[in-house]
Amino acid sequence: MSWQEELRQRLVERNAEESAYAGIIEQSQQARLLSERNSKLLQAVGSVQSQPGAAASGSAPVQDNPVRVAYVASLESQITSLRDELAAVYKTQGQNAQRLLSMNETLREKEEQTRLNLEELRQIKDEAERLRRAAKDHNEQIAEKNRALQTLIDDAQTYQLEISQVEARNEELKKDNAGLLQRWLDHMNDAANKMNHANNFYTELRTHGWQSQPGSTATSELDDDIVDVNGDQLSASGKEERNGAPSSQLNMLQLNPNGVGIGIGENGRAALAWYEARRAVAERDALLAESRTKGADGEDEPASLGGTGWSVVDPCDAEPTDTISNHEGADDWDHCSPVPE
């Protein structure tokens, strides 16, 4: 129990005790007042009796009623004391009025301060409520951002997995492309070797030729594509005209209008050799057409080659000096060089 509670309890007990003896106390106060009044009256009577000259010179009513005189004197003394008490009461009332004004001013200031405190308290409560709502909103935003972050992390992991798969596939494609490129290059090398071999054979055939034998024709296995060599197909100098100019080589071999040659030799061996050469030329043309078609369609051709095909360049009129290389003037084969489509 605090000291305030203990003090209040003691005050309550004292008030209860005083209220129990309130009647006795009031009666004792009245008895004391009456005793004081009687004593004053007796003093007044004694003072009047002790003055014989004043009684002799006075009137008969005063001598006849000394109690009245004493009573009047007592009343005058009471009036004087009451006036003093009234003055004291007025003074106390003025002081109390001044204190009341001061207390009213203090109360007004306290009320104003209380009003300001209440207003500040209300503002603080509103601010606290706003901060609580803001904190709740921030928590929701943080939760939403955490969910978005988790989603981004999952997406990043998914993309990373896809990237790793794409990289692995790219590595496999690079390996496959390298193998395809190597196979394609090998195929082209084989085709080039075949063409060079046919070119070599064809060049040797044109360079060396066969000596014509009179009355010898080769018609076996060539049918209508082989014609005989006669005097009209030869020039006056006995040399073949090429592009309107005489050739420096002896005319040992002639071509018919269909582009098929006839060889003149013993037992048709030259004709058969020329037929094999023309077949090699046909295979070369087929390979060129196939590589040109694949280059145009972009199939089976590695991306590193840039999608190039094979162009056909007309042979020059120079005499053949090289049967292996494929540069300008080396032979009269159709030159093959990669050009953009």
Q: What is the pLDDT along the chain (341 residues), one digit of tens a residue?
A: 677 888 888 888 888 887 777 778 888 888 888 888 777 777 766 666 665 554 444 444 444 467 777 777 777 878 888 888 889 889 988 898 899 999 999 999 999 999 999 999 999 999 999 999 999 999 999 999 999 999 999 999 999 999 999 999 999 888 888 888 888 888 888 888 888 887 787 787 777 654 333 444 433 333 333 333 333 433 333 344 444 444 444 334 444 444 444 444 444 455 555 666 677 777 777 877 877 776 665 544 443 333 333 333 333 333 444 443 444 443 443 433 333 33
Q: State the Cα–Cα distance between residues 235 and 279, nearest whole angstrom.
A: 28
Q: 245 in helix, strand or coil?
A: strand
Half-sphere exposure of 201 (CA within 13 A, CB side): 16
Query: pTM for the full model?
Result: 0.30
Q: Compute the distance between CA of residue 129 and CA of residue 120 in angstroms, rounded to an integer.
A: 14
Q: What is the dihedral of CA 238, 241, 247, 252, to 10 degrees?
A: -50
* C-alpha of 208 from chain center: 80
- Give the start-to-end residue ranges of the domains of the chain: 33-43+66-164, 179-339
Q: Can you tell me the distance from the alpha carbon of 139 to that of 131, in angstroms, rounded to the nearest whole number?
A: 12
Buried b or exposed e, range 118-128, using 16+ CB within 10 angstroms: eeeeeeeeeee
